[in-house]
Each structure stands twice: as C-alpha cells, then as structure tokens.
A and B are shown apart, each in its own frame.
Chain A
Amino acid sequence: MRYEIHCNVKGKWVLDSLFDDKTLALDEANGLVTRGRARLGLKVIEDADDMKTPPRTIFFYSAAAVEKMDAAKKHKVVMKEVQAARDDRKVKKEAVRQAAVVAAAPKKTSAAMIALRLGLILVGGIVALQTLRMTLLD
C-alpha cells in the first residue's frame, strides 16, 4: 500500500511525498496543515498498488472549504447577535409602550375615597338638616 501526499500549489495538485505507512502519511499531512505549509489544500491518497483497487482519498484539507465554513460560522454568530439585539429592542419597546398605556389611562378613584366623599356629604346633610330644624324650632 502506498500513501501519497498531494499539495495544492497555485491551483494544481502536486505530489509532495510518498509513504508506505498510513500513520506516517497522515501525521505528516496533519503536520503540514497545522504548520501552515499547505496553504491552499492537501490530500492523502491511498493507492493499493494492485491495479484492481482504485486509489481513494483518505484525508482532504481545503483552505477554501475551511474559509467557507469559517465564514458560515461567523455569519451564524452575527445573525445570532442581530436577533438578540432585535429581541432586546422589542422588550424595551414593549416596556416603553406599557408605560405609555399606564400614563394615558384615566385615573381611577378608589372606593375608599368615594366612601369618604359620600360620608362627608351625608354628615354635611345631617348637619344642615339639624341646623334647619333648630332654626325652624326657634
């Protein structure tokens, strides 16, 4: 079994190195990616060397795909922040609206106040009637 590391150089796949050991090839490929030595892309192809089994890619790294994924992740984060800001604005707007509704509502007279007023009228009436009665009796 052969393991071929191919690097993307200026848009073309170029054979970089050959191994007969999968672990070594994958470790080297991984090292190249993490050290930034495969800026555009890298792949490891497993070749059975038997003319029957077709070669297959067992490791693939594409800087463009990673950039696309990063961009999608960033977009997701930004959209989340925008939604959070929208929700926040909505909550604040609702609070302001509620306050305005409360301020605009007619002031309700409490039952105690009505009772007090009625009490005063009643007492006033009694006092007036008593005064009138006293005046008429004199």
Chain B
Amino acid sequence: MSETGRTEKRLVLRVLAQWRELRGDRRFPSIEDVKAEAFVSDWPFCFLVELPEDGSTPRFLYVGAALDEEIGRPMAGLPISECPPDTLLAAALVPHAEAVSREVPLSLGGEAESRAGPILYRSIVLPLSQDDERIDHLLGAANSRLVVKDGD
C-alpha cells in the first residue's frame, strides 16, 4: 500500500492513492495491476466492473464482502443491472458512466436509501485500461454509515 494509503483515514482517498501508485506514468492502471493484497483491509469495500467492448451491459467481476453482505448474495459475474437499487453498491455505481466518459476517477457521496435505512455514503469509481486508451474495467470502492435521526 502507498504511503498515503497507510496514513489516510478516508477510504476513497486511500483507494485513489493506490490507483495512482498502480498507474505510474500511464493514464490508467490495467485490471492485471489490481491485486487484493495492494488494497489490504480496503479490499472488502471494493468492486470491479468489466465493460465489454461490444457495449453490452457491464458485469461485476468482483464485489467485496462488505458490499455483498448487504445484498445477501454474491454479485460477481452478474450484470450491474441486477444490482438491487436500495443498496450501497447501487449508490456507488451511479457515477460509473461519467467516470467512463470523462476518463477520470470520480468520487460522489451523500445520503441514500439502503435496506437498513437511510445512509451517508462516500464512493469512488476509477477507470482501468489495458491499452491506456479504452476504459475496459472500473475499480470502485464505497463505505457508509447509517443516519441516526433524532429520536432513533
């Protein structure tokens, strides 16, 4: 893990720092560069999405245990359209199209509805490419906390 990754408290900035580390002098790191060990304890909060060249629906290649747990079933291998809307993973996927079109890491956050109730979440989606041209995969990460309202 990068120096920033060890000292940074926020998940999205740790993952972004690691993405920069993997990228080196290239525009994007490739899917082969992404290894669970590099992300250490952040890996369960990460997900990987494959973007088929033919334009068909993107698929989850990997979904971290912390994100899978909320959904209650493994999402790896499934198209992203199968992702239940009232989940952190669905909220984390919102900026994926913009991250692809603008070809840069994109971090969004805010309030969302989850199965456990309203949550405050923060997510990041980062482009990956094998030829440094076409974005063929996305790396994402997200975490959240339940919003505790007065009287709860």
> Is B4's CB within 8 Å of the partner chain A?
yes
Residues of B within 8 A of A37 (CB): 20
- The reply to whether B4 and A17 contact each other, CB–CB distance below 8 Å, is no
CB interface residues, B 108-122, toward A, < 8 Å = 108-110, 122
> Is A125's CB within 8 Å of the partner chain B?
no
Q: Which residue of A lies closest to B3 (CB)?
A: A35
Residues of B within 8 A of A28 (CB): 13, 16
**Which of the candidate stretches B35-43, B85-93, B98-106 sits at the interface with the other chain?**
B98-106
Interface size on A, residues (CB 8 A): 13
Residues of B within 8 A of A17 (CB): 16, 104-107
> Is A20's CB within 8 Å of the partner chain B?
yes
- The reply to whether A21 and B109 contact each other, CB–CB distance below 8 Å, is yes
Q: Which residue of B lies closest to A5 (CB)?
A: B104
Residues of A within 8 A of B110 (CB): 20
> Is B10's CB within 8 Å of the partner chain A?
yes
Query: Known contacts being A24-B10, A31-B4, A35-B4, is A18 close to B16, with CB within 8 Å?
Result: no
Interface size class of B (residues with CB under 8 A): 10 to 19
B3-44 Cβ-contact flags toward A at 8 Å (1 or 0): 110001010110011001000000000000000000000000
- The reply to whether A20 and B4 contact each other, CB–CB distance below 8 Å, is no
- The reply to whether A27 and B13 contact each other, CB–CB distance below 8 Å, is yes
Residues of B within 8 A of A21 (CB): 107, 109, 122
Minimum distance in angstroms from A122 CB to a CB of chain B: 99
Query: Known contacts being A24-B13, A28-B16, is A18 close to B106, with CB within 8 Å?
Result: yes
Minimum distance in angstroms from B27 CB to a CB of chain A: 9
Q: Which residue of A lies closest to B103 (CB)?
A: A15
Known contacts A18-B98, A20-B107; 14 additional CB pairs below 8 A are A15-B104, A16-B104, A17-B104, A18-B104, A18-B105, A18-B107, A19-B106, A20-B110, A24-B107, A28-B13, A28-B16, A31-B4, A31-B13, A37-B20
Residues of A within 8 A of B (CB): 15-21, 24, 27-28, 31, 35, 37
Closest 8 CB pairs of A and B: A17-B105, A18-B106, A19-B107, A20-B108, A17-B104, A15-B104, A18-B104, A31-B4
Residues of B within 8 A of A (CB): 3-4, 8, 10, 12-13, 16-17, 20, 98, 102, 104-110, 122
Q: Could you give 10 example pairs across A and B, Cβ below 8 Å?
A: A16-B105, A17-B16, A17-B105, A17-B107, A18-B102, A18-B106, A18-B107, A20-B109, A24-B13, A27-B13
